[in-house]
Amino acid sequence: MKHRLLAQYPLALPGYQYLSILHESDNAIILLANNPSGSPVVIKRFKFDASHLPQDLINEFILESKALGLFAHRGLVQPLDAGIASGALYMIMEYVQGVTLRRHLATIGTPPLAQALQWFEEITLALGVIHGIGLLHQDLKTSNIIVRHDQSLALLDFGLEIRLLIASGFLREDEIYCTPYYISPERIIGDPPDERTDLYALGVILYELLVGHKPYESNTLSELLKKHAVAPIPRLPDNLSVYQPLIKGLLAKFPENRLQSANLVVRLLQEISQRVNAGSSIS
């Protein structure tokens, strides 16, 4: 499979040894490789022909990749480099060993409350870093989060390539680029995304971590989208009701009614935790 895909989508990076294909999507292949010094890295090689893209768009992608890489935040899979080779655009990222949060939850079920809240805070802080440099994630979901062996988390895919996918024809301007289980109501009707769009997906993840399933589920896409758009915000079980303000603030149907930033989400989480801890000490 590796040889077939590399023959179809070549990428000549001197000194890099390609080890295996980690994933293939409609628009990219993800390779595990050793860099020239022998350390493992992950390379995302886009399938579209970069020669047809505006140079300023390519330069913007490379600059944003390198800017995000400067933060070296543990909650983000760090971009290491980006460029063009063999007519293809690529991004080199650190190799983070672990499994996706989606797979981890499928294995362990609903995590203990303390673990769920710690994970939620880690995800929120990492999302705040992305938003802090003017980027959106646009595809936040449990399958884009890696659980390391020490149980810490790292976010994958930072929405850097959205404009490239549109310019290359892989994505229409009005096409929704996300997973239906995590889509915000405003994206369903075609409104442009902003930070609050990511925060809606964060709310879905919080509900999933606390309860063990997603807030809205359906066997059909149309019914699922309808639930996101008009169904009431689900209530948490009584033993978790103290966290309902977070769910309400993240899953509000209208962006203006949501918590407006990752920083505000963390602040509310800390306030709730302080009340919970104060109540425990009194009792």
What Rg value do the Cα atoms of the chain yield, rounded? 20
CA distances from 158 to 21, 106, 121, 162, 212 (A): 20, 24, 18, 9, 25
Q: Tokens 């549109």 identify what position?
A: 166
Provide the token pair at 77: 């899979």
Token digits of residue 217:
């589920």
Rounded distance, CA 79 to CA 82, Å?
Answer: 8
Cα separations (Å) of 184 from 155, 215, 228?
19, 12, 7
Phi-psi region of 159 (alpha: psi -120 to 50; beta: other; left: phi over 0): left
Q: How far apart are CA 244 and CA 238, in angstroms?
A: 10
Given the residues 26, 139, 150, 198, select the one marked as catalytic: 139
Cα distance between residue 119 and residue 59, in whole Å: 34
Sequence-distant (6+) residues with CB within 8 A of 106 are: none
State CA 43 to chain mean position distance: 17
Exposure pattern of 87-120 as b/e (b: 16+ CB <10 Å)?
ebbbbbbbbbebebbeebbeeeeebeeeebbbbb
CA distances from residue 153 to 116, 183, 222, 255 in whole angstroms, order as listed: 11, 22, 32, 27
- 139 assigned to active site: yes
Active site residues: 139
